[in-house]
Structure 1
């Protein structure tokens, strides 16, 4: 990688993860037989499978390894085949529901954009079976939220109960989860792409740059290419890129072509240059993603380099997101993502906004709920003390 001789310290990566990355790289090479035989020596295949499933890359791994089945144990190939077929059926199931949701929302004059799921798989990979998704994520204008909720409830969906002390859900969340008990489908309604204090384009602009997905017959709308790149970079960075699937999305977008002149305008406007540099460093180092001259400028920043090395720890840990997010290391990482002092200050202010946990610690009558603002630091400290005593 040509970025002032900088490279990630990959020494913490186990050989099973290295092999996983090598297999993913070969998808973009002309010579599919370029697997290195020595890479398959002394591999813990159980760990290899765990990594492929954890990082949600097993459909791509299966596609590559079925051309080289003689290099791996038969039980490994059997597991990959089973998981691949299961995912293919899941994506078809989601695709059918996606089309129906789009139709219902359109008939009720609610504009919505599909963020991930089959629409993203078809857009980036050209095949819905090559990417995984456990649910459907859609974006709507916050002014349509109540209308969308009533519609989903009428369609048999059930709403996740959110804490609502002083309307905290509006400040601490950016989506609501709905679940259909019969169809076994989870649907997330987003009114923001990312939680506060991130800056992002308003829904009207995103809708104006929308594209039609190729995944369905009935029109399903997705983000414009440049908006999608901004969203995927922001989403992956916020989660520490703890799944390789998100980096592979970026890699495929770049290889399939994206107007980086227009992308750069969005990155600058929404203060996302550092996290874009982080994504480009990680994809070029781990997946050999080709970078053009404009992209190479972004990977030279010291902040992007630091963020990349920090994220490598999350990629390597193979822990659930809720465990990662509970660590002080992740909190420091998340604070480092904020590119401006104003966004850092806003994040600190949000920390002082009361939560339902405060109400559980000290129950106050509704007319006195305003007291939770000055009491929050004391209630937070009290919970910490009690937790350490247990």
Structure 2
């Protein structure tokens, strides 16, 4: 027995609807009048959503009346991405070995490891960087290793009273010669939120062979937790993240374990949101084994809210965001939270922010005063604003 969902897509561009059909395993292109397609817009959407590798493979099998320049552009991007993924794969193997030699446990999160796990083909998923999770206690040693290897730190995190440890979740390094961005995580997601301990993630880890190196990555239920938390936090504004979910569901999954993991960390409704989006947009096959994630009204409501991010090419990574997008996204992030997460979020406002130190500079020895002064500083900033 299978279940399915249909969301309201009336405001989604026709070009994106065609793209969605092409990404489905058995999509029917006849549902779209191709004479109404702006192929340049179609190409822009394919690039924006980072799904052009899979799209190119599907178009190779069809005889659609597409301008030759569009197919040529997709072909060139497909080749470039293949070289990029091979480049990242080699660096991942190299860094995995160096970290192991230093006695540092590491779990690679995305990039080549995810392409092989979900797509069985490096060329079918895009990635612009490498992401690795390490224990918080080893961050300094990882940084020293990366500096030795020629990486440069993007020191963008501002902090006061050590709030970086739970408000942030990664720091970025860039290699100017190799052209590789390397993100070192000590959390899977930014806080405040309850997360699995690194030790637990390590015990559930899996490995995959790359060349002569066994690269460690997340266990199945932990990977799904990470994928849905990451995609939801970004409004599923790139279809690549939803395509990952579509590919994940095809695996032999113990959905009871997945449900327990999501429930324990307050992401059950977010997992349901991901599955419903996949069902409606990519015809992801849902079964009654997933019923725990799909029960109630929250998952479907959250899925419909996420359609907003598909109605135009919204890039949440580019600041400043348009005012309407910023307001909507802040509200949507709150709606994603479980009751416990909302409570933790409200309590976190009592903890000083780096902006407090800018508003009222104090010597470091007196930074503890920001706790009792926090309400007054917050009120003052509101008045000035």
Relative to the length of structure 2, the TM-score reads 0.92
Match of 1:304 among 279, 299, 303: 299
Displacement of 1:74 in angstroms is: 1.0
Structure 2 matches for 1:1-390, cutoff 5 A?
A: 7-25=6-24, 28-29=25-26, 34-36=28-30, 38-161=32-155, 162-322=157-317, 323=321, 327-340=326-339, 342-380=340-378
CA distance 1:338–1:19, shift in 2 (3 Å): same
Q: Aligned-pair distance for 1:386?
A: 5.6
| RCO higher in structure (CA 8 A, sep ≥6) | 2
Please, which runs of 5 or more residues in structure 1 have no aligned partner? none
Aligned-partner Cα distance in 2 for 1:80–1:215: 27
Distance 2:280 2:69 in 1: 31
Provide the rounded CA distance (Å) in 1 between the counterparts of 2:322 and 2:299: 20
Deviations 1:339-383 (A, max 9, x none): 12x321211222343333333333322233233334445545655
Q: 2:18 touches 2:32 (CA, 8 Å); kept in 1?
A: no
Q: Report how far residue 174 of structure 1 moved.
A: 0.8
What is the distance in 2 between the residues matched to 1:128 and 1:382? 52
Provide the C-alpha distance between the structure 2 equivalents of 1:314 and 1:385, rounded to a whole number of angstroms. Answer: 33
**Relative to structure 1, is the Cα distance of residues 99 and 73 closer, same or farther in structure 2, using a 3 angstrom cutoff?**
same
| Alpha carbons 1:324, 1:330 under 8 Å: kept | no
Residue-pair matches, total = 380
Give the C-alpha shift of residue 213 in structure 1. Answer: 1.6
Contact 1:284 1:291 in 2 (8 A): yes
Cα contact 2:193–2:344 (8 A) shared by 1: no
Question: In 2 relative to 1, CA 182–337 (structure 1 residues): closer, same or farther, beyond 3 Å?
Answer: same
Distance 1:16 1:246 in 2: 19
Structure 2 Cα separation of the partners of residues 154 and 63 of structure 1: 40
Deviation by residue 1:311-352 (Cα, 9 ceiling, x = unmatched)? 111233322214279712211111112212x32121122234
> 1:190-245: per-residue Cα shift (whole Å, max 9, x none)?
11111222222211111111111244431111111121111111111111111111
Three-state SS of the structure 2 residue aligned to 1:68 is coil
Displacement after TM superposition at 1:61 (Å): 0.7
Closer, same or farther: CA 382–267 of 1 in aligned 2, 3 Å: same
- Find the residue that maps to 1:256 and give its secondary structure: coil
Contiguous gaps of at least 5 residues in structure 2 = none
1:213 touches 1:219 (CA, 8 Å); kept in 2? yes
Aligned-residue offset at 1:23: 0.4
Instruction: Give 3-state SS (helix, strand or coil) of 1:327's partner.
Output: helix
Distance in 2 (CA, whole Å) between partners of 1:175 and 1:16 is 35
| C-alpha distance in 1 between matches for 2:135 and 2:351 | 24
Offset, 1:273: 1.4
Measured in 1, the distance between the counterparts of 2:257 and 2:301 equals: 26
Deviation at 1:295, TM superposition (A): 1.6
Aligned-partner Cα distance in 2 for 1:89–1:6: 38
- The verdict on how the C-alpha distance between 1:225 and 1:351 changes in structure 2, with shifts beyond 3 A counting, is same
Which segment drifts farther, 366-375 or 207-216? 366-375
